[in-house]
Chain A
Amino acid sequence: MAVTAGPSRRIVEIVFAAALIAVAGAVFVLSADYPAESAAFPRVLAALLALCAVVVTVRQLRHGAEAGGQPFFAHLPRFLLAVVILVAYVAAIGVAGYLLPSFALAVGLPFVLGYRRLALTVPLALGTLAAIVLIFNVVLERPLPPDVLMHLWETVR
């Protein structure tokens, strides 16, 4: 249990509020370079945002002890896994194109999360990709991200 617990809700609450204050500060600093009329609106927003974030933090510090004790994540390792897989997926699209990483994601993510009926996931992944290529690429002429499969196809031809 200790492994899966992760930070408490209260900690995340305060960290998020702190991040908002940091963003507000950054906005304030960055807009110093802009002409006054362009800087005014974002600066007002940043000030209000920081104020709200301070209120949230103070509330947590004063009352949060009882309510904020429980862990924030239901299952931290699985969450981190999902994040890593998603980031890897998007990065892979940039390298290898859309089709291969998508197939890997559609089959792989359920697999690592414990759903192992490949007889369902593999045809489903193939069918979905076929539908996507048909609608986006063939009918509507929207290009897919440049794909290694396409290179292969062209060299084979």
Chain B
Amino acid sequence: MIDALVHALPHVFAPANLLAVVIGSIAGLVVGALPGLTVTTGIAILIPITFGLDPLFALGMMAGMYNAGSYGGAIPAILMRVPGTPASVATILDGYEMTKRGEAAYALQVAVVSGVIGSALSAIALILFAPPLVKVSLLFGPAEYFWLAMLGLATISALLGDDLVKGVTASLIGLLIGTVGQDLTSGTERFTFGSLELMDGFSIVVLLTGLFALPPVFQMAEESIKEGMSAAALKFRKQRSVLREWRYFLPVWLRSSAIGVFIGIMPGAAGSMSSFLAYNDAKRVARSPETFGQGNPEGVAASEAGNGADNAAALIPALSLGIPGSGVAAIILGGLLVHGLRPGPQLFRDHPDVVYGFMLQMLLSAFLLLVVGGLAATRIFGQVLRLPRVVLAPLIILFVAIGVYAVNNAMFDLYILVGVGLVAYVMEKLGYPQAPVVLGLILGPMAESQLRLSLTISQGNPAVLVSSWVSIIIALLTALVLVTPLYRAWRERQRKPAAA
């Protein structure tokens, strides 16, 4: 392996291939930052263009796009509260609060550095530990996925907010929205009212933008704010430096990256789970969990490191078995095939220079992100906030509208967007949190379908749910996640009388 890595190095740093990674990173940043455009779309358009080119040129562009695209979503999430992907929702929770406090530049910096660390650690895991990690991913069948979904749902407890009843209500709304569409196991169409557009359920990007991006627009209209953010709030130098505070962030980065890598290797787990799980974990071990959701940089760091760590890890089962761990990994597989690179153990034997070259490019693109995303792009994007809010809001709508339309090329989604936006605004003003809606929406279908799938395979015998040690461990973890906040509350109560 060391041989192959050394052998691949000159190819990776060949000027053309280096340029490919840079171009890919810039393009990835753009598609990631715009709602409705995804890295998958970008790579899909890229593939036919790369016919006949050096594989490492094509793969370099994909690697750049992948890592930069996954970070790109954080930019509008932090600055404008527009989530490009479900993964950016956990970033919004603290990132947008920091922006409101005038720490936009710092928040972006935390996001980019954390994303870089997550992506880099993930790439290192890909290079060093692919074979054992693949074995872990094979331990997961429907029953194990069911518990994984339950674990994810349990993390909602970290997002409920101050009002428990309203938090639970919001989760239930999300879970119910998740049931819309054709039910996989029996083929029944639920709550579609005969509409073809709803057969596959609501499009997640549409709901996300409606939930998060539109309420601030209504608020802006009501308050009619004619000022923008001051230039001072957007200066980098004046604010803290993440790199100097690395000791403070290190534990969050490491834990979140480990979570991201773990979720990344699971083909059946929603990719956005990693940022939520990482966020929950950071909040759970934090000394003052109540500051999460109010602009705690650790929340941004956890979410983005978890999100970045999902990337290269998703390639582990993809390269070694041909089973993509994420949507983007799936399309990268397609790109590999076009170049005659068939995934599987023989890929490492027959084309070690390309495989290890690609892995190094994943690592390289992670660090390039620091330059492209951290220095150049965030400075430019950040300036947008200096516009008067009453001018900025309609511009956000322009991007949101075209992005939502682009998801399915359907007007239907635009109507849904406005409807969801209105309901979301009322919910927000009444103090119903939005993040639980998203988590319920994503994980509810996973939990239900995996549960029913495992029962189908076992002919209805519920013992299948606890028949493997993996299931039992995850079930226990779920219980732990649920019990921790209760335990904390109990301890607080114990302590208070003593102090008084």
Instruction: Mark A residues whose CB is within 8 Å of B.
Output: 9, 12-13, 16, 20, 23, 27, 30-31, 34-35, 37-38, 41-42, 45-46, 48-49, 52-53, 55-56, 59, 72-75, 78-79, 81-83, 86-87, 89-90, 93-94, 98, 102, 105-106, 109-110, 113-115, 120-121, 124-125, 128-129, 132, 135-136, 140-145
For residue A78, which residues in chain B have a CB less than 8 angstroms away from its CB? Answer: 221-222, 224
Measured CA separation A94–B476 after assembly (Å): 51
**CB <8 Å contact, B402 and A56:** no
For residue A12, which residues in chain B have a CB less than 8 angstroms away from its CB? Answer: 426, 429-430
For residue B427, which residues in chain A have a CB less than 8 angstroms away from its CB? Answer: 16
Given contacts A83-B422, A94-B411, A124-B387, 9 further A-B contacts (CB under 8 A): A12-B429, A16-B426, A35-B186, A74-B223, A86-B217, A86-B397, A89-B397, A90-B415, A114-B224
From B165, B173, B387, B390, contact of A55 by CB (8 A): B165
**CB <8 Å contact, B222 and A75:** yes
For residue A98, which residues in chain B have a CB less than 8 angstroms away from its CB? Answer: 401-402, 405
The yes or no answer to B2 lying at the interface (CB within 8 A) is: no
**CB <8 Å contact, A109 and B221:** yes
For residue A72, which residues in chain B have a CB less than 8 angstroms away from its CB? Answer: 429
For residue A102, which residues in chain B have a CB less than 8 angstroms away from its CB? Answer: 398, 401-402
For residue A41, which residues in chain B have a CB less than 8 angstroms away from its CB? Answer: 179, 448
The yes or no answer to B30 lying at the interface (CB within 8 A) is: yes
The yes or no answer to B218 lying at the interface (CB within 8 A) is: yes
**CB <8 Å contact, A20 and B169:** yes
**B472-499 contact mask (Cβ, 8 Å, vs A): 1 or 0:** 0000000000000000000000000000
How many chain B residues touch the partner (CB < 8 A)?
Answer: 57
Q: Which residues of B from 191 to 244 have beta carbons under 8 Å from A?
A: 191, 217-218, 221-224, 226
From A48, A83, A105, contact of B398 by CB (8 A): A105
Query: Separation in Å of the A69 CB from the closest CB of chain B?
Result: 15
Measured CA separation A114–B166 after assembly (Å): 36
For residue A145, which residues in chain B have a CB less than 8 angstroms away from its CB? Answer: 405, 411
Query: Separation in Å of the A24 CB from the closest CB of chain B?
Result: 8
The yes or no answer to B172 lying at the interface (CB within 8 A) is: yes
8 contacts between A and B (CB under 8 A): A16-B426, A16-B430, A45-B175, A75-B222, A78-B221, A82-B222, A90-B414, A98-B401
A72, A74, A82, A121 — most chain B CB neighbours (10 Å): A82
**Which of B34-42, B138-146, B316-324 is near enough to bind chain A?**
B34-42
